[in-house]
Amino acid sequence: MTPLELLQIVIFFGVLIVLTPLLGGFMAHVFAGERTLLTPVLRPVEGIIYRLSGVNATEEQDWHGYAIALIAFNVLGFLVVFLLQLAQGALPLNPAGLASVEPALAFNTATSFMTNTNWQSYAGETTMSYATQMLGLAVQNFVSAATGIAVVIALTRGLARRTAHTLGNFWVDLVRATLYVLLPVSLILALLLVSQGVVQNFNAYTEATTLMGETQVLPQGPAASQIAIKQLGSNGGGFFNVNSAHPFENPTPLSNFLQMLSLLLIAAALTNTYGRMIGSQRQGWVIFGAMLTLLAAGLSLMLVSEYSANPMFGIAGVMEGKEVRFGITNSILWGAATTAASNGSVNAMHSSFTPLAGGIAMLNMLLGEIIFGGVGAGLYGMLIFVILTVFIAGLMVGRTPEYLGKKIEAREIQMAIVAILLPSAAVLLMTAFASVTEAGLSNRANAGPHGFSEILYAFASASNNNGSAFAGLNANTPFYNVLLGIAMWIGRFGVIVPVLAIAGSMVGKKTAPPSPGTFPTDGAVFAGLLIAVILIVGALTFFPALTLGPIVEHLLMAAGRSF
Amino acid sequence: MKSIFIALRMLVVLTILTGVIYPLVVTLAAQAVFPAQANGSLETRDGVVVGSSLIGQNMNGDPSYFWSRPSAIGYSPLPSSGSNLGPTSATLAQTVAERAAAFREANALPEDAVVPTEMLFASGSGLDPHISPEAARLQVERVAAARGLAVEQVNALVDAAIEAPQFVFLGQPRVNVLLLNLALDEAANG
């Protein structure tokens, strides 16, 4: 690694830290309904949206009402994307003449985009028409991200309000997240990406005659508008098959930098929004610090591993699956960020990383997508661990655990455990099932432990709503499309519903002033304890599975074994 | 029940906003301000589209052109793909050994010459348009001989084709193979 590459990493995190309070402060104003720079333009649009959809914006919902509205909206969104794919062959905006999508794949893809996973069993340029990409997938990119943001805002209100009953209005939070945050930033990012060479048109595919006289068909389409929200909304579903490794999707080092930044930006800024809404930015920075520490630790290990020689080739810095314009460092930085952030877009093929670099990518997902995580989803997942940590700290000193002056009781802990256990159980049980069935085993591209890693990675990615893959695995089979689809539903709503339940029970509690015996949650000690709890829970749950995949592969690689 | 009707109307409204208006606004702005980029950065010669400066081409086998990286899909973009072979793949190990031998032989390099790693391994997209400046230099003598051009002249073309890191600190130096080959054709014809 050169000093210049190290500088890229430092500048990257520097810019992220500077932007966090800026965007975080803006979002705090937006969700409180306060005036911002965009209010004069967007407030009338917001009013029109409420009128057209019949929403009473002044009416607040309790946690049941909030959850019902959220689930109704998401299930309906799933159905629309599902049906759109089945009908695509008969619909306009399909210049490549692509056929309708078969039902198992359509189920998987609709689930995938609705749950903010964006796992891709398909290749965009040969499967999805422009109509499906725009009206189905891109719309879910926006609203699944806005759904995640809404949930964390509701949870934050649950913690911040005293002896209240309601958590806000789902429709208002959904519309404000989309209109004030996601749309304006996407618009700017999309144009910056086009300036670098990302395509944005409705042309038919272009036939070129190469210098060797061969015909090369170049795909086209409205890519930049979709890629902007794909990154900002922690979606990650590529317009093209190889996602942001495709030169039309990510053409230059600058487009790469902007896309990497935007895949962490909103999740990072929400920690600051959270801090402001509960009245202590420090609390937000402690959570940000814990996330950044975990990300930096994983990134360092991945870099060391990738820059160490693979004895099979006698080469350090293997370029398999990587692009020259990004090189090793930017491929690994992206790989760490995208698996930590539940984004799932890739600019290099993770399957070809060294075993430990691929293993850390898996661990980032398996910890529950809380290292920044998905927009909203990362922070509410992290707050589950915060509650767990407060509880454990309370047990150690023998006091009733409190967070932000509110007592943590049995119901909150039960719900927290459900939210942690459901996705983890889905990963382990489904991986085990796939590993002993012919339908699960016959689609691996690599032999040996790497083949097992392909399966484990797939279920880790789906259950935690990440969406990246060890893409050698041919997941476009009924077996994987259905099983991974189910994992995505569990990973999304198996966490959202318990989180809203916690918000609902916390919002009614009294707030007690801190006493000398209160364990402070706004310092480095708490951050350290939080990290320890996350790693212990993650290690206890997944160490055996990781041993069978990346760890044993690393040891065998060092011994010179190949498969 | 009320929630379902609101959900339906909200989905329609947000679909129009984010699925129709937003991509149309981006398309109009992109076509107005950056038309070349928005349409795929196409390269034309004598009125014929010869490719995109962002998409690599299969040049391997013709000694009179600079060669691109290995590609898992032979630079055929529908669909894009990498090999996804893992770090302990025996297939990959064998392929890499063959590629190293072939590159050394084609460019008359000694047995122990180090071949730049991007020429041994397939890219993630299968469409990588770039190689490193070192990989271009190693091909200069072969190309010059095949074209009957002076080595210095071809070297100068490579020098002119090297793209520096963006804004000094982003990315690494690289050579766009298609643009270099177009420049080469022009030099040979001119």
- What is the nearest CA distance from B102 to chain A, expressed in angstroms? 16
B17 touches chain A (CB under 8 A): yes
Q: How confident is the model at residue B60 (pLDDT cuts 50, 70, 90)?
A: confident
Q: Answer yes or no: is pLDDT of B40 > 70.
A: yes
Q: Give the Cβ contact number of residue B41 at 10 Å.
A: 22
pLDDT of residue B126: 97
Q: Which long-range contacts (CB under 8 A, 24 or more apart) does A327-332 make?
A: A327/A5, A327/B171, A327/B172, A328/A1, A329/A1, A329/A5, A329/A8, A329/A9, A329/A303, A330/A5, A330/A8, A330/A253, A330/A256, A330/A260, A330/B171, A331/B124, A332/A299, A332/A302, A332/A303, A332/A306, A332/A357
Q: Is residue A504 part of a domain?
A: yes
Cβ proximity of A325 and A253 under 8 Å: yes
- What is the nearest CA distance from A24 to chain B, expressed in angstroms? 23
Q: Is residue A330 part of a domain?
A: no
Q: Is residue A9 part of a domain?
A: no
A460: domain range? 375-558
Read off the pLDDT of residues B90-102 as tens digits, 9 standing for 90 and up.
999 999 999 999 9
Read off the pLDDT of residues A497-549 as tens digits, 9 standing for 90 and up.
999 999 999 999 999 888 877 889 999 999 999 999 999 999 899 999 999 99
Chain A residues within 8 A of B89 when measuring between CB atoms = 446-447, 450, 562-563
Cβ proximity of A182 and A145 under 8 Å: yes
- What is the nearest CA distance from B71 to chain A, expressed in angstroms? 10
* Domain segments of chain B as ranges: 1-39, 54-189
Q: Is residue A540 part of a domain?
A: yes
* CA separation for the pair A484, A468 (Å, rounded): 13
pLDDT of residue A225: 97
Percent of chain A with pLDDT over 90: 95
Beta bridge partners of A315: A310
B78 touches chain A (CB under 8 A): yes
Give the chain A residue whose CA is nearest to the CA of B51: A208
pLDDT of residue A169: 98
Q: Of chain B residues 19-58, which have a CB less than 8 A from chain A? A: 19-20, 22-23, 25-27, 29-31, 33-34, 37-42, 48-52, 54-58
Q: Of chain B residues 93-112, which have a CB less than 8 A from chain A? A: 93, 96
Q: Please identify which residue in the block is written with the tokens 């009953």.
A: A165
Q: Do B84 and A446 touch (CB under 8 A)?
A: yes
Read off the pLDDT of residues B27-36 as tens digits, 9 standing for 90 and up.
999 999 999 9
pLDDT of residue B188: 82
Q: Is the dihedral of CA A360, A365, A366, A370 positive or negative?
A: positive
| Residue B105 DSSP code | H
Q: Answer yes or no: is pLDDT of B129 > 70.
A: yes
Q: Is residue A414 part of a domain?
A: yes
Indicate whether this model's pTM tops 0.90. Answer: yes
Residue numbers of chain A with a pLDDT score lower than 70: none
Read off the pLDDT of residues B166-181 as tens digits, 9 standing for 90 and up.
998 899 999 999 999 9
Cis peptide before B79 (omega within 30 of 0): yes
Domain count, chain A: 1
pLDDT of residue B31: 98
pLDDT of residue B190: 64
Which amino acid is present at B101? A
Q: Please give the structure tokens belonging to residue A512.
A: 């007690």
* CA separation for the pair B29, A553 (Å, rounded): 49
Nearest beta carbon to residue B77 from set A77, A196, A219: A219
Chain B residues within 8 A of A202 when measuring between CB atoms = 27
Q: Is residue A550 part of a domain?
A: yes
pLDDT of residue B1: 73
pLDDT of residue B107: 96
* CA separation for the pair A107, A95 (Å, rounded): 24
Q: Please identify which residue in the block is written with the tokens 């930006």.
A: A265
